[in-house]
Amino acid sequence: DTAVSQTPKYLVTQMGNDKSIKCEQNLGHDTMYWYKQDSKKFLKIMFSYNNKELIINETVPNRFSPKSPDKAHLNLHINSLELGDSAVYFCASSQDMSGYGYTFGSGTRLTVV
């Protein structure tokens, strides 16, 4: 009954590869987000989607492409992975764009070698 679930939990891959992280929420929320937590534990928003539409892209490289097939899913595809992409990626959702009911997933730890 996980509210916001991400897969996989861990991902180890080589530089240059392309990988995807999936996120699903069963809360009926309209708005979903991707956050990145770097090696120093600093958390920063990457993207926000509302009802499948991209709302914000916080100066994230073009190699990162979010996709929202429906409002319950927000996937993150990363092309040509670099060492600096190693981080923990958190998906989150909220009831609407006001942010009510903000809920985070458990994170995906991506390691690029």
Task: List interacting residues with other proteins (CB under 8 A).
Answer: 31, 33, 35, 40-45, 48, 50, 55-56, 58, 90, 94, 97-99, 102-107
Give 3 or 72: the residue with its C-beta nearer to other proteins.
3
CA distance linking residue 73 with residue 6, whole number of Å: 10
Distances (CA, A) of 22 to 6, 55, 98, 100, 108: 6, 19, 24, 23, 9
- Residue 35 Cβ vs other proteins, minimum distance, rounded to whole Å: 8
How near is the Cβ of 52 to other proteins at its closest, in Å?
14
Sign of the torsion formed by the C-alpha atoms of 97, 98, 104 and 109:
positive
Q: Which is nearer to other proteins, 33 or 81 (CB)?
A: 33
